[in-house]
Amino acid sequence: MPDGSPKEHEFFTKLSKEVKAHCSSEQFGVSDLAEMMGMSRSNLLRKVKKQTGLSVSLFIRKIRLEMALDMLKEGSLTVSEVAFQVGFSSTSYFIKCFHDYYGLPPGEVGKGEWPREEDVQKQEKQLPLNLKRVSLYVLGSVFVALVVVFGLRYFPAKMPGKSIAVLPFKNESSDSTNVYIINGVMEAILGHLQKIEDLRVVSRTSVEQFRNSSKTIPEIAKELNVTYFIEGSGQKIGEQLLLNVQLIDAEGDKHLWAQQYNRETKDIFALQREVAKSIADEIEVVITPQAEEQMDKEPTTNLEAYDAFLKGMDFFYAGTREGLEQAIPYFEEAVAHDPAFARAYADIAIAYYFLDANQVDKKYTSQINKYADRALLADPELAQSLIAKAVFYMSSGSYELAIPYLEKALKYNPNSNLVLGFLADFYANQYPDTPKYLEYALRGLQLNLAALDSAEASINLLHVSNAFIQAGFVEQAEEYIDRSLDYDPDNLYAAYVRAYILFVKNGDLAETKSLLKETLQRDSTRLDVIQEVGKVCYYMNDYQEAFHYYQWFLSIKNAMNLDIYRFENAKIGFVFETQGLHDAADKLFADYYNYAENDQSIYKHLSLAVYFAQRNENEQALQHLSIFAKQDNFHYWVLLFLKIDPLVNSIKDTREFKQIYQEMENGFWKNHEQVRKSLARKNLL
């Protein structure tokens, strides 16, 4: 219970009581709790975060685990029974969460081993990654965790042209289990509108915070920067679907159009199309023949398949690993009912892709390919089908083959936040291209002008900051990183990216090291920060301290069987060599060479230049560096760190190196200016 006034104690007592009353329901979450408390989701998020330091979802999990401990102490229930009673459908996942929080497996409690208060770890540090909000991007010298699905409250410029937001539809059914159907109708209407190129459509994540908001339409319009709103409510009674939809002028809060629909559930797809087209007519935006063709497609002819699919999407949007695992069986049920259900096939492939992310052993590559091909066979123009095939190529390392699928997906869905998110991630991580990364990040920003909470806004601002610094826009990067930390001072990703942005400004590695160590002290489990501290020590030629951090990093990485940071193995090998660990160093150099030889990005020849330089094969090193210098869209970190990298000591003082470096520098800043002009023309800067 947080410290505070009697009123606050009363509030949190009631909050805990509601969670405990619904503890056995796995589906009980933030929105349900907000409704029970008579608050908007965003207000609840802010209040709980302020008083406890936890998000609402983590607060709920904390109470579930505390109840589980009490049940286990009683000794009358098995671990599986306790897991079920506190809302965990997966016993293995319950065991993991319990162990992470209390420091011992739940089975030990039954044997009389109870956790001590001082051994309880901070829950929020141990919970699994939210895949909807966070993906790991390899960004040259800086490895930053960033969001794929954008959303924030701050926006840099007015959204061009006509813009619209679809507010969360209200479920008026007496049966609360019908929520997923009303959400599905809202999502489908949103999806249809996103196909209209003349219209800017704010994403679902941006509007979700207003589900139970007491704010007025003009107030929400100011936050989202849109010209129109759609409000809706509905209910399912037997086989009838009742729907009320209103179109509102945002500035004047005037109702422009309203319609009531009473249709049989078998007509749900026609209803969704009709609503979207009626709205387009009212606001006078052009639906191209290509867009209309896409809108007229029905996702499935089987209502049982669609019902299963909508249930799966509720789990899919949760964004957690367990949510993905729970969504897949519903999608499989959907395709069992309808073997031509392209969207369901595609989402199975995408879910498997996220489950395999950053794992050394890729378990699901064949499933990704199988379901992607079935999705494309059923609908080769569906954005999700194209993304599914793209992620197959990404998961198998054939990055160039993914490009046409991603770009065609954007062609069919120019307003799709999902597609723009994948494109930004792709050009930041799998196939680095700085100008494209920045452009897609900023285009995504225009469609996502509000986050679910301040933590998500902070991560999204961090994402844009990193795109700017990678392209050499230092002032913009600093502005966005400061805003990121204003939203969430506990965002450790932003804290250590800021350390590097300050290095760009002052060149002080000692300050960078100090700031990174401060970040690591706040969470010693952060694998990325451990590696960053080791790297800064390496650049400072403090190899003994670098060895300490690199050894720590490798022990965790290998224990977790993660496939990350292979491009850093040359630095780690160099440090191990200085400590006399020649066999370990040779293995690291060999793996680095294998990585460089198979690298499909523009950085291949830079990596090979570094490899041959550390072997004192200077002629080959300079040849590869000269080839790399012909590139002009590499990220800024290359210029900043190459000239101080100990791996190139054998060539850095040569006339050839200095000439090549000057060529690289000239090319970078020429490209920087071209990017600036291009973004300005597109109203993105």
- The structure's pTM equals 0.56
The third-level CATH classification (topology) of the domain covering 162-296 is Rossmann fold (3.40.50)
Strand, helix or coil for residue 649: coil
The third-level CATH classification (topology) of the domain covering 6-126 is Arc Repressor Mutant, subunit A (1.10.10)
CA atoms within 13 Å, Cβ hemisphere of 162: 17
CA distances from 172 to 52, 266, 271, 424, 483 (A): 33, 20, 18, 38, 39
Q: What is the CATH number of domain 500-678?
A: 1.25.40
Domain formed by 136-154+422-499, architecture? Alpha Horseshoe (1.25)
The closest of 15, 13, 21 to 37, measured between CA atoms, is 15
What's residue 631's pLDDT? 87
Give pLDDT tens digits for 481-499: 988 888 778 888 888 889 9
Cβ atoms of 230 and 246 within 8 Å: the answer is yes
Say if strands 228-237 and 162-166 run parallel, antiparallel, or are unpaired. parallel
Spatial separation of the C-alpha atoms in residues 337 and 339, rounded to whole Å? 7
β-pair partners for 254 = 249
Q: What does DSSP assign to residue 682?
A: T
Cβ atoms of 609 and 624 within 8 Å: the answer is yes
Helix (H) or strand (E) holding 673: helix 655-681
Helix (H) or strand (E) holding 256: strand 254-264
**DSSP string spanning 192-235?**
HHHT-TTEEE--HHHHGGGTT----HHHHHHHHT-SEEEEEEEE
Spatial separation of the C-alpha atoms in residues 337 and 307, rounded to whole Å? 10
Terminal-residue alpha carbon distance, the chain = 46
Measured N-to-C along each axis, helices 268-283 and 289-296 cross at an angle, to the nearest 10 degrees, of 150
What's residue 105's pLDDT? 76
- Phi and psi at 534, nearest 5°, equal -60, -40
Given this chain, do its domains 136-154+422-499 and 303-413 carry the same CATH topology? yes
Spatial separation of the C-alpha atoms in residues 58 and 490, rounded to whole Å? 15
Pick out the chain residues at pLDDT < 70: 1-5, 26-27, 29-31, 40-43, 45-46, 55, 57, 89-93, 96, 100, 110-161, 174-178, 203-206, 319, 415, 445-457, 459-460
What's residue 415's pLDDT? 67
- Phi and psi at 607, nearest 5°, equal -65, -40
Cβ-based neighbours of 542, under 8 Å, separated by 6 or more: none
Using a 10 angstrom Cβ sphere, with 0-12 exposed, 13-18 middle and 19 or more buried, the burial of residue 360 is: exposed
Domain residue ranges of the chain, discontinuous segments joined by +: 6-126, 136-154+422-499, 162-296, 303-413, 500-678
Q: Domain 303-413 in CATH: superfamily?
A: Tetratricopeptide repeat domain (1.25.40.10)
Spatial separation of the C-alpha atoms in residues 245 and 671, rounded to whole Å? 48
Give pLDDT tens digits for 514-549: 999 999 888 888 888 999 999 999 999 999 999 999
